[in-house]
């Protein structure tokens, strides 16, 4: 018998069928995780957690499969593949990199250990997030009329329970923030603050304490990095990212911290003076900061969030958002029909100028007990061209805004509107892609630290008069936002921007050092204290257990990656500066942004896309200018 020589694998016979199979499981599990995040129930949670180890095991084994790894290597080296498109070459390069990062080159015994770590980590991440949600849900306080002074009517209406006495406040963001920003009752603020910042810690129910989970997660991540020969988890985490090294990231953060610090110090000094003189708060406590800040802002700029909110009813905001998108990118957005998981969910489709379907999306805007906190975009279906034809993308947009109360439409704060534009920016990155290969279409394959570019970029439009005057209508009078109020909002935009920037830098430095430094006896909390001593200008009380609900890095994908927000903000601010130069709704600039950033997805490195759009490397100047931190301000 002749010795059979295996032919080199081809894209069509090897990569495409593998993608088919992975897409099937990815989409099925994607729906389950989506429901786990937005419609939590004991039954679903049980089913989800029962399946999670199997799904994790599948991806882990796939990522370590020696046979597949070798096939990719053969494909990459085969003569036929040398003429493949740049996009397909990048997909194969990424696959080879991910195999190495997933442990494919490890000897058999270490592979088993690597997989066991993956499995344990997946369960710990899920548990971490459930503990935060359970601890959040478990607490509420019912107060009588003597304790509600200062809280706006809309928030009181939301806190009113049918047929019951009193007002009920919880740790869910809208309810919690209403108390923290507005309640005159200082003890009520203190109570809620303490409950919130000690969630999932040793001060609560032992079953929900995330402290041991944090230690174990860090230990496992270190071991995983060591197995692959990296000096730290941070080094391992940065391999597929845009940033080169932990040192580069820390230097970037240090530089921003140095520039922001004088502004943050000024912010705090002014807040303390104001609190002492006008609010008679001798010592500014952590539970006074949001309250005093709101009062100072209202005094200095003579408007409140509540006043502004009346101009942002949901339907007008959505129409305004769609108008911006339609103008810039030449598409049309219209409501459409699809089965939904909750009556509050809406469904839309995006079509191009010729009427062809570009993509579809779900919008689930309101907070509820069964939804995890925050706002996020997720992919339901990715764009892909197969023999069967073109598969168009579908996105989920999830927020936690206040639902409609008292027969009025839902009213959004300007912050909510920013959040909506932010998430929609992610959505557009996913929906407006023109890449035909699933692995790098939309946000797939985009470096973590560049993925916030389109989202943060779109927030800028919420600060443009040209946009806002068409995106506002007073819920009672029907008037659009008065120019004078807009000017005040603009003046207030950089209110405490130094403080806000230092806070983000504090979290980013904490996250990076936590994952970059060797194991010591020092706990995560002690490291955070040390970082705060160097970076922060406001120190919280000793019982604050922020790490215990820092889900971004202990339950999400931001481990050694939280800096991405600031990193991408430099990119997004600098990108937006082109629109400031050309005109904010300039369709030509929009076309360029769509062509060079949104539509290319992960088909080329983000640094290359940025240069193609801007004609040069990113500069930090636009971000500093947008944040009010320019030489004209204070000289450090």
Nearer to Zn ion, 459 or 596 (CB): 459
Nearer to Zn ion, 30 or 374 (CB): 374
Cα dihedral 567/571/576/582 (nearest 10): 160
Nearer to Zn ion, 377 or 589 (CB): 377
Q: Which residue has the tokens 């993308």?
A: 393
Q: What gap in Å lies between CA 352 and CA 596, rounded to an integer?
A: 18
Question: Nearest distance from residue 195's CB to Zn ion, in Å?
Answer: 27
Question: Nearest distance from residue 452's CB to Zn ion, in Å?
Answer: 5
Which listed range, 70-78, 91-99, 450-458, 587-595, lies at the site for Zn ion (CB under 5 A)?
450-458
Q: What gap in Å lies between CA 489 and CA 503, rounded to an integer?
A: 22
Which listed range, 183-191, 226-234, 448-456, 499-507, lies at the site for Zn ion (CB under 5 A)?
448-456
Q: What gap in Å lies between CA 57 and CA 618, rounded to an integer?
A: 40
Which listed range, 91-99, 196-204, 296-304, 453-461, lies at the site for Zn ion (CB under 5 A)?
453-461
Is 419 an interacting residue with respect to Zn ion (CB under 5 A)?
Answer: no
Which listed range, 273-281, 452-460, 475-483, 508-516, lies at the site for Zn ion (CB under 5 A)?
452-460
How many amino acids of this chain bind Zn ion (CB under 5 A)?
2
Nearer to Zn ion, 180 or 397 (CB): 397
Question: Nearest distance from residue 566's CB to Zn ion, in Å?
Answer: 13
DSSP 552-574: HHHTSS-TTTTTHHHHHHHHHHH
Could you say which residues in the range 91-150 bind Zn ion, by CB under 5 A?
Answer: none
Sign of CA dihedral 460, 464, 466, 468: positive
Nearer to Zn ion, 40 or 378 (CB): 378
**CB-based contact 495:501 (threshold 8 Å):** no
Question: Nearest distance from residue 361's CB to Zn ion, in Å?
Answer: 15
Edge-to-edge, what's the strand order for the sheet holding 331-335?
331-335, 346-352, 357-366, 394-401, 376-381
DSSP 504-535: HHHHHHHHHHHHHSPP-S--HHHHHHHHHHHH
Q: What gap in Å lies between CA 177 and CA 291, rounded to an integer?
A: 9
Q: Which two tokens stand for residue 306?
A: 């509540």
Question: Nearest distance from residue 243's CB to Zn ion, in Å?
Answer: 17
Question: Nearest distance from residue 533's CB to Zn ion, in Å?
Answer: 29
Nearer to Zn ion, 397 or 502 (CB): 397
DSSP state of 160: B
Catalytic hit among 423, 452, 506, 569:
423
Tell me the residue ranges of DSSP E strands in 353-477.
357-366, 376-381, 384-386, 389-391, 394-401
Nearer to Zn ion, 236 or 565 (CB): 565
Q: What gap in Å lies between CA 273 and CA 410, rounded to an integer?
A: 36
User: Could you tell me which of 596, 323, 278, 345 has the C-alpha nearest to residue 450?
Assistant: 596
Which listed range, 335-343, 344-352, 446-454, 600-608, lies at the site for Zn ion (CB under 5 A)?
446-454
Is 433 an interacting residue with respect to Zn ion (CB under 5 A)?
Answer: no
Is 455 an interacting residue with respect to Zn ion (CB under 5 A)?
Answer: yes
Residue nearest to Zn ion (CB): 455
423: annotated active-site residue: yes
Residues of the shown chain interacting with Zn ion in the complex, contacts defined by CB under 5 A = 452, 455
Q: Which residues are catalytic?
A: 423
């Amino acid at each position: 018998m002749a010795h059979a020589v295996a032919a080199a694998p081809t894209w069509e016979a090897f990569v495409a069928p593998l993608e088919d199979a992975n897409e099937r499981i990815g989409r099925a599990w994607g729906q389950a995780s989506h429901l786990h995040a937005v419609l939590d129930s004991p039954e679903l949670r049980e089913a989800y957690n029962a399946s999670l180890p199997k799904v994790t095991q599948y991806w882990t084994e796939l990522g370590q499969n020696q046979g597949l790894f070798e096939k990719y290597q053969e494909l990459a080296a085969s003569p036929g593949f040398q003429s493949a498109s740049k996009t397909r070459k990048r997909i194969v390069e990424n696959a080879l990199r991910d195999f190495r990062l997933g442990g494919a080159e490890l000897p058999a015994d270490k592979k088993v250990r690597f997989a066991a770590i993956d499995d344990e980590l997946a369960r710990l991440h899920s548990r971490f997030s459930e503990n935060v949600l359970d601890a959040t849900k478990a607490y509420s306080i019912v107060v009588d009329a003597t304790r509600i002074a200062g809280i706006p009517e809309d928030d009181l209406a939301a806190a009113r329970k049918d047929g019951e006495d009193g007002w009920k406040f919880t740790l869910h963001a809208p309810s919690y923030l209403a108390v923290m920003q507005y309640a005159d009752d200082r003890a009520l603020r203190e109570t809620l603050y303490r409950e919130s910042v000690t969630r999932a810690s040793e001060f609560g129910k032992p079953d929900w304490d995330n402290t041991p989970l944090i230690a174990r997660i860090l230990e496992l991540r270190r071991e995983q990095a060591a197995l692959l020969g990296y000096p730290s988890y941070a080094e391992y985490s940065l391999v597929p990212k845009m940033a080169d090294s932990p040192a580069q990231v820390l230097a970037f953060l240090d530089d921003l911290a140095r520039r922001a610090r004088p502004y943050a110090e000024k912010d705090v000094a002014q807040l303390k003076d104001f609190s002492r003189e006008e609010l008679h708060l001798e010592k500014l406590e952590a539970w006074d900061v949001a309250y005093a800040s709101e009062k100072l802002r209202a005094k200095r700029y003579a408007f409140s969030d509540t006043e502004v909110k009346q101009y942002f009813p949901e339907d007008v905001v959505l129409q305004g958002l769609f108008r911006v998108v339609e103008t810039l990118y030449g598409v049309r957005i219209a409501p459409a029909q699809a089965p939904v998981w909750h009556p509050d969910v809406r469904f839309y489709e995006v079509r191009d100028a010729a009427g062809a379907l570009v993509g579809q999306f779900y919008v689930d805007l309101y907070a509820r007990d069964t939804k995890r906190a925050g706002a996020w975009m997720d992919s339901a279906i990715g764009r892909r061209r197969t023999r069967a034809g073109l598969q168009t993308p579908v996105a989920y947009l999830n927020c936690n805004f206040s639902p409609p109360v008292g027969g009025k439409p839902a009213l959004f704060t300007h912050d909510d509107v920013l959040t909506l534009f932010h998430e929609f920016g992610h959505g557009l990155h996913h929906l407006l892609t023109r890449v035909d290969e699933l692995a790098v279409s939309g946000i797939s394959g985009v470096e973590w630290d560049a993925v916030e570019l389109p989202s943060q970029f779109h927030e800028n439009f919420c600060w443009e008069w040209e946009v806002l005057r068409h995106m506002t209508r007073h819920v009672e009078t029907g008037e659009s936002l008065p120019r004078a109020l807009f000017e005040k909002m603009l003046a207030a935009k950089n209110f405490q921007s130094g403080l806000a920037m230092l806070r983000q830098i504090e979290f980013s430095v904490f996250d990076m050092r936590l994952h970059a430094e060797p194991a010591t006896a020092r706990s995560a909390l002690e490291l955070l204290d040390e970082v705060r001593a160097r970076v922060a200008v406001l120190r919280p009380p000793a019982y604050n257990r922020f790490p215990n609900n820092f889900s971004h890095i202990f339950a999400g994908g931001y481990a050694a990656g939280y800096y991405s927000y600031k990193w991408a903000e430099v990119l997004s601010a600098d990108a937006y500066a082109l629109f400031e130069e050309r005109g904010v709704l300039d369709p030509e600039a929009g076309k360029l942004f769509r062509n060079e950033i949104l539509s290319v997805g992960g088909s080329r490195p983000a640094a290359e896309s940025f240069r193609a759009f801007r004609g040069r490397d990113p500069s930090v100047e636009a971000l500093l200018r947008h944040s009010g931190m320019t030489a004209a301000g204070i000289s450090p």
